[in-house]
Amino acid sequence: MRQIAALLLLCFLWGMEWLRELLILPATPSTLRAAITCTFAALLYALFPRERCSSWRGIASALGLFVFPILLQQAAHLSGYTSAALWALTPVLIVVVCGAQAAGLRQEMLIAALAGVAGTLLILPFQFPASVTDGLHWLILLAGIVSAAVASVIAPEAAGFRTSGLLSGAAVLWIATLARRPISLSLPELLWIACIDLPAMLLLLWLLPQMRPEALSTRYLLPMAITTLTSWIALHQQMTVRFASGTILLIASSMSLILLARRTA
């Protein structure tokens, strides 16, 4: 139950991202937010002697999970809605990768993950590529999504992932941030990183070795449901049948993945 509670808290923190816009916080570059978060998380884990190790697999996992997806998403230049809809494919890819490792794809898990994609498409406006350039941008983002899916599966067993791996990823993110613009951070932004981003990162790092990748893949689905529900309650927005159906599908998909993963463990 501790893992489920931590997963729900993680998804709640990520699902409250819409509050940034409501509070009119400046749009901090995602590379800068991730660089700060990865740096402090790695330094905290470095306090534990058993975490002070390094391996190429740990570094590759951190790059694949936290760095490549952010850089490729920035390079794709897709709208926020389209990007969010494509990220809903991550649980499907994680199920496929886990099936490949286990020499057998579980169809019920794949169906549950696809239900999450359907739920996301009911909530978000979505457009297929209208040109070759748009298609190329899709492929760039999909490469980042595949990177995150594969890294989600191999990271839990990778030595040094939470220390040397994160620090390596943070170094790349700092370079990417400095190459684009001077660093500028306000106090509200720092408070958001300290109170939302860093706790969420620490929860994710703790959960990775604690839960099966298929169950933890729900972190790509549940925040969307939480965003829909919390914004509806707080802002008194109209809940259409389509939004309600999408939210129910997201929750049902997540519950199914968690239950099926527990049965497999």
Tell me the average pLDDT across 142-159. Answer: 93
**Res 187: pLDDT:** 84
**Res 15: pLDDT:** 92
pLDDT digits (tens, 9 = 90+) for 119-133: 999 998 877 888 888
Q: What is the DSSP string of 84-119?
A: HHHHTTHHHHHHHHHHHHTTS--HHHHHHHHHHHHH
Residues 12, 225 contacting (CB under 8 angstroms): no
Structure tokens at 121: 């498409």
* Separation between Cα atoms, residue 223 and residue 247, nearest integer Å: 10
Say yes or no to pLDDT of 22 above 70.
Answer: yes
pLDDT digits (tens, 9 = 90+) for 59-91: 999 999 999 999 999 999 888 889 999 999 999
Residues 160, 54 contacting (CB under 8 angstroms): yes
Q: What is the DSSP string of 194-218?
A: IIIIHHHHHHHHHHTTTS-HHHHGG
Residues 66, 38 contacting (CB under 8 angstroms): yes
Q: How far is CA 83 from CA 75, 91, 140, 264, in A?
A: 12, 15, 11, 31
Of 38, 152, 144, 147, which Cα lies nearest the Cα of 95?
Answer: 152
pLDDT band at 235 (very low <50, low <70, confident <90, very high): confident
Residues 66, 37 contacting (CB under 8 angstroms): no
Say yes or no to pLDDT of 246 above 80.
Answer: yes
Q: How many residues does the chain have?
A: 265
Residues 87, 220 contacting (CB under 8 angstroms): yes
Say yes or no to pLDDT of 173 above 90.
Answer: yes
Q: What is the mean pLDDT of the chain?
A: 89
Say yes or no to pLDDT of 25 above 80.
Answer: no
Residues 173, 38 contacting (CB under 8 angstroms): yes
Tell me the average pLDDT across 163-182. Answer: 90
Q: How far is CA 212 from CA 153, 179, 205, 207, in A?
A: 8, 37, 13, 9
Q: Let me know the angle formed at the C-alpha of 46 by 34 and 90, rounded to the nearest 5 degrees.
A: 40
Least confident piece of the model among 49-58, 212-221, 244-253: 49-58
What sections of the chain are H helices per DSSP?
A: 2-15, 18-22, 30-45, 56-62, 68-76, 80-87, 90-101, 107-123, 132-154, 166-180, 187-192, 198-207, 213-216, 222-235, 241-264
Say yes or no to pLDDT of 117 above 80.
Answer: yes
pTM value surpassing 0.85: yes
